[in-house]
Structure 1
Amino acid sequence: MFTPRFYFHIRNDLTADDEEGVELADETAAKEHALEGARSLVCASIHEHGSVNLDHRIEVTNDQHQRVLTLTFREAFTITN
């Protein structure tokens, strides 16, 4: 059975293209993976710099290098009072 591969390209202060990708069941799993990655990057940015740019993003592409999802850091969490 074929398992699709998704690539998670980071677009923040630097551009980092994912050359290896990750095999995941489907686009829903890819979105969850992107959410986890974005949350980790947000935490690292806050820890290292004391700030985060919520417009930074992860672009997810499939095996054919077609974009299937763009997830901004803003979409990765909810801020409450």
Structure 2
Amino acid sequence: MKKLLLTLGVISTVAAAQADAKTVLTDANEDGMFSYEELLVSFPDLTADAFGAADTNGDGQLDADELKAAQAAGTIPA
């Protein structure tokens, strides 16, 4: 019983830590924009369609405002 309670405690602690974790975005080429390929590193489930919907000016990259809007809309995870 003690092992079960200890195991459950560890699992809940790890789950809580993961819930508080922030995704780190890397602008690999340091151009101030995020390409689809750069975002795939942090969001491997991101689809080209979701990226295209977030790219409101159609330049093939997301600027900070487009990324923030897509995250607020739930198109890209925050």
Q: TM-score, normalised by structure 2?
A: 0.25
Larger strand proportion of the pair: 1
Mark the structure with the bigger radius of gyration.
2
- Pick 1 or 2: higher relative contact order, CA cutoff 8 A, min separation 6: 1
Q: TM-score, normalised by structure 1?
A: 0.25
Larger helix proportion of the pair: 2
